[in-house]
Structure 1
Amino acid sequence: MRDGSKLRGFFAKKYSFEELMHNHGEKGPIYRYPLVQYKVIDGIPTLVGLGEGANLILDIGICEEEINIEGTRFCLERAEINTESIFFGVTKEIQEYVFKTPWFALNQKNIDNYNAADEIEKDELLTKILIGNILSMAKYLDCRIEDKIRVKLDVKPIRVNFKGKKMAGFKGGFKSNFNLPDYFGLGKSVSRGFGTVKRCSL
């Protein structure tokens, strides 16, 4: 997971003039769903763009023969850009997703409630949080959701090292009546690769 943060640091520095690449403006961090995200998927360094972020990556292209991350040079034997248009929103069909990277669901406000809850209450709380994550993503994509989002979670807690600290994360997956783009993140720290989802075949 540290590699996703390093990848973000490289491109944020290289394209410091593009706010979408790092979500920082003249006055500091810009709090919005990141439309460009950095992650390592199955060992492959990956940039993922959505909407304006996708257009920006297409404009920038991938023309480097190598990238330099913290003094280490990595040669790019092959680089490719894939594009896809998908429906984003509530569907009649149930979709199944797996978290390819740990999901950071909890923050300082709700972690105490989670720790004090019983097993059923924990599932209810996490389900509510996941639906909130989806709605937050939809908000920043100017997507109006009028139908009810339904979710069935199947996750287990894990401990994750993040910025030198042990954090509570979750692995597993979920089913939902909401169609999401592959390889985009839900929850906290999605720009660094956390909470990455991938559709499964039912």
Structure 2
Amino acid sequence: MILHTLTLTFDTSRPVHGSAPELREYFARKFAEYTELHRQEDETFIHRYPVVQSKIIKDFPTVIGINEGAVFLKELADESREIQVGPDTYRIAEHDISIRDEEFGLSDTSHSYEFATPWLALTQENYKRFYKLTGKPARDEFVQKILVDTILSLSKSLDYDVTAPVTCDTNLHFQKDRLKGVSVMTFTGKFQVNFLIPDYLGIGKSVSLGYGAVRRIYRGIRKG
């Protein structure tokens, strides 16, 4: 399956201090007529995958559009001269636009990825189950199953039919975080999977708020 993607990175006049949710809120206010910015995934993550996702990558405000979202982002790039992240306003020195047609789906070989932003993987129920597990092997197996389920759910939301087993291996580390005042667990690190995922596509929960952006690693060196 081919996904049409547009990645828009803003080079601002000074370093950005703020969060991806604040960046998304700014675009939602400024471009209220574009419904793509207001479309968020529900708790089941099925059939509600956001076509526009805001992220902060290495202090650079970044927005990725998928399919119809890519068309919207081109218009956004032409109109934006400054952005607001939280209480601060930043002048845009230039835009970096990357437009690609990229493969998404099963692969005959395994590919390596890393999380460019923390992966929000666990529901409250799975959060409790994870903590009850003892030993790294049991926790790794549990997280690997969730990762596979997440990829299957993403595939369904994009109308991609997975016709063979998805297998993965992970080297992840968990940490506590807060989302909208609620304590959550997120994961960072690397994983391998027999699946092609475009760079900076978000997987898991709250991807429209910047979580779960993946980036492919080529021979031990990440791309981009």
Q: Give yes or no for TM over 0.5.
A: yes
Listed one character per residue, the Cα deviations across residues 132-185 of structure 1 (whole Å, up to 9, x for unaligned) are: 111121112111111111110110111123223432111111001100010111
Q: Is 2:77–2:95's contact at 8 Å kept on the other side of the alignment?
A: no
Whether 1:99 and 2:115 are equivalent positions in the alignment is yes
The gaps in structure 1 that reach 5 residues or longer are: 25-29
**One-letter code of the match for 2:35?**
E
Task: State the alpha-carbon separation in 1 of the partners of residues 86 and 199 from structure 2.
Answer: 29
| Native 8 Å contact 1:153 1:173 kept in 2 | yes
Name the TM-score, length of structure 2 as normaliser.
0.81
Q: What is the deviation of 1:97?
A: 0.2
1:172 and 1:68, CA in 2 relative to 1: closer, same or farther beyond 3 A?
closer
Report the aligned-residue RMSD.
Answer: 1.9
Evaluate the alpha carbon distance shift between residue 82 and residue 175 of structure 1 in structure 2; reply closer, same or farther with a 3 A threshold: same
State how 1:2-21 maps to structure 2 within 5 Å.
2-21=18-37
Task: Report the equivalent of 2:95.
Answer: 79
1:163-174 equivalent positions in 2, closer than 5 A: 163-174=180-191
The answer to which of 66-75 and 165-174 deviates more is 66-75
* Corresponding residue for residue 173 of structure 2: 156
Identity %: 33
Say if 1:68 and 1:74, in contact at 8 Å, map to a contact too: yes
SS of 2:74's equivalent in the other structure is helix
Unaligned runs of 5+ in 2: 1-16, 41-45, 220-224
TM-score (norm 1): 0.90
CA contact (8 A) 1:23 1:31 kept: no
Matched residue type, 2:129: N
Per the alignment, in what secondary structure is the counterpart of residue 70 of structure 2?
A: helix
Structure 1, 115-124 or 151-160: larger mean CA deviation = 115-124
